[in-house]
Amino acid sequence: MKQSLIYLSVFALGVLLAIPGIIPVYFIENDISKWILFTLLFFVGIQIGASRNILKVVKSVGLKIILVPVATTIGTFVGAITISFILNERSVTDCLSVGAGFAYYSLSSIIITEYRGAELGTIALLANIIREFFVLLLAPWMVKYFGNLAPICGGGATTMDTTLPIISKYSGSDFVIIALFHGIIIDFSVPIWVSFFLSFK
Amino acid sequence: MLSIFLFILSGVLVGYLIRKRTFVKHVSSIISVIIVLLLFFLGVAVGANRQIVESFANIGLDAFAIAFATTTGSVLCAWFVYNRFFKEKKKTP
């Protein structure tokens, strides 16, 4: 929660400084941000390569644990396709690439901005932050009506960090391992899915 | 788009090779710093774009709609998987 507020304030600061033209536009209209993005992806890769224990977790819960990130992915994509018919201005692949952020708003919005521009990038940032807040605020209600896995699938990539405490509280500590595994898998799939959907024009 | 995969894959390879070094512990802070920088750039790009500033209410509404639809889809799939594959096991402690 604290981290998302920091990110949102930094974004808002950029907006407020740019509206009156305090920061010149040429500051962002160059290749620097692209290379910073590549550096970011490289470090995200390091995090993936250095993480262990995934196989151990699969063994302790059983193979059915794989169904949890699969459910998240299918549900999100069906939801994104459905809403694209209601939002006339947004194409199916635009909605899918925003949805494929799975609440990992920082990385998804940055990649989308680089390849589709700031408008869809901002939608990705807001949509994925809102998704995280849905889980933070509605987790007890989700568990009550849709079972213990609901806040995990709802939380997407955040279930390994920001939403983990609330999942542990309402789904129970038995589900912490599932939430961690799920978060890691979804986290790693975000840049792959986002760039996949962006490759369709 | 290929460059995205290449940078992640080379990172995975390096990460695997240095997974036992203490440097790995600092990676998440490095990532946070880069993200702060890039989100600031995104903010500047949005603020400098009059079209986006003027349609911000619409953008926010679209974002909310996508967030609602994707979260609902995932929660419903979670409900199905929970009832079908996880519930029985919980009843027998």
Residue B90 pLDDT class (50, 70, 90 cuts): very low
DSSP codes of every residue in chain A: -HHHHHHHHHHHHHHHHHTTTSS-GGGTSSSHHHHHHHHHHHHHHHHHHH---HHHHHHHH-GGGGHHHHHHHHHHHHHHHHHHHH-TTS-HHHHHHHHTTTT-HHHHHHHHHHHH-HHHHHHHHHHHHHHHHHHHHHHHHHHHHH-TTHHHHHHGGGGGTTTHHHHHHHH-GGGHHHHHHHHHHHHHHHHHHHHHHHT--
**Between chains, do A45 and B18 touch, taking CB under 8 Å as contact?**
no
Considering only CB atoms, which chain B residues are within 8 Å of A52? 19
Residue A60 shares a structural domain with residue A149: yes
Residue A68 shares a structural domain with residue A2: no
User: Does a structural domain hold residue B11?
Assistant: no
Considering only CB atoms, which chain A residues are within 8 Å of B93? none
Residue A19 pLDDT class (50, 70, 90 cuts): confident
Residue A87 shares a structural domain with residue A161: yes
Residue B1 pLDDT class (50, 70, 90 cuts): low
Residue A19 shares a structural domain with residue A41: no
A200 burial (CB, 10 Å; 0-12 / 13-18 / 19+) is exposed
Residue A90 shares a structural domain with residue A56: yes
Residue A15 shares a structural domain with residue A55: no
**Between chains, do A14 and B3 touch, taking CB under 8 Å as contact?**
no
Residue A60 shares a structural domain with residue A159: yes
Ranking A120-134, B36-50, B52-66 by mean pLDDT, the lowest is B36-50
Q: What is the pLDDT of residue A122?
A: 92
User: Does a structural domain hold residue B9?
Assistant: no
Give the integer Cα–Cα distance in Å for A92 and B66. 11
Give the integer Cα–Cα distance in Å for B67 and B56. 16
Looking at chain A, the whole-number percentage of residues with pLDDT higher than 90 is: 45
Considering only CB atoms, which chain B residues are within 8 Å of A128? 67
Q: What is the pLDDT of residue A175?
A: 87
Give the integer Cα–Cα distance in Å for A77 and A20. 38
Closest chain A residue to the Cα of B71, Cα to Cα: A154
Looking at chain A, the whole-number percentage of residues with pLDDT higher than 70 is: 91
CA within 13 Å, CB half, A7: 23
Tell me: the pLDDT tens digits for B26-49?
888 888 888 888 888 888 888 887
Give the integer Cα–Cα distance in Å for A77 and B78. 14
Q: What is the pLDDT of residue A95?
A: 97
Question: Between A28 and B86, whose confidence is greater?
Answer: B86
Terminal Cα-to-Cα distance of chain A (whole angstroms): 34
Closest CA to A50 of A183, A188, A194: A188
Q: What is the pLDDT of residue A70?
A: 97
In this predicted structure, the answer to whether residue A135 has a pLDDT above a threshold of 50 is: yes
Ranking A12-21, A165-174, B1-10 by mean pLDDT, the lowest is B1-10
Domain range for B56 is 27-91
Question: Between A88 and A120, whose confidence is greater?
Answer: A120
Residue A53 shares a structural domain with residue A70: yes
Residue A1 pLDDT class (50, 70, 90 cuts): low
**Between chains, do B78 and A118 touch, taking CB under 8 Å as contact?**
no
Averaged over A61-83, what is the pLDDT? 94
Indicate the residue type of A33: S
Residue A70 shares a structural domain with residue A128: yes
Closest partner residue to B63 among A49, A127, A192, by Cβ? A127
**Between chains, do B38 and A40 touch, taking CB under 8 Å as contact?**
yes
Secondary structure of residue B21 in the 3-state scheme: coil
Residue of B75, B87, B88, B91 to mutate for A, most A C-beta atoms under 10 A: B75
Residue A109 shares a structural domain with residue A135: yes
Decide: A84 and A95 in contact? Cβ < 8 Å: yes
Residue A155 pLDDT class (50, 70, 90 cuts): very high
Residue A78 shares a structural domain with residue A105: yes
Q: What is the pLDDT of residue A108?
A: 92
Closest chain B residue to the Cα of A5, Cα to Cα: B36
Closest partner residue to A42 among B10, B45, B73, by Cβ? B10
Closest partner residue to A79 among B14, B47, B69, by Cβ? B69
Residue B7 pLDDT class (50, 70, 90 cuts): confident
**Between chains, do B74 and A75 touch, taking CB under 8 Å as contact?**
yes
Q: Give the ipTM.
A: 0.86
Closest partner residue to B43 among A15, A80, A126, by Cβ? A15
Domain range for A3 is 1-30
Tell me: the pLDDT tens digits for A28-52?
666 677 788 889 889 888 887 887 6
Considering only CB atoms, which chain A residues are within 8 Å of B22? none
DSSP codes of every residue in A98-135: HHTTTT-HHHHHHHHHHHH-HHHHHHHHHHHHHHHHHH
Averaged over A8-19, what is the pLDDT? 87
Give the integer Cα–Cα distance in Å for B21 and B60. 43
Indicate the residue type of A168: S
Number of domains in chain B: 1
Q: What is the pLDDT of residue A90?
A: 94
Residue A21 shares a structural domain with residue A91: no
Number of domains in chain A: 2
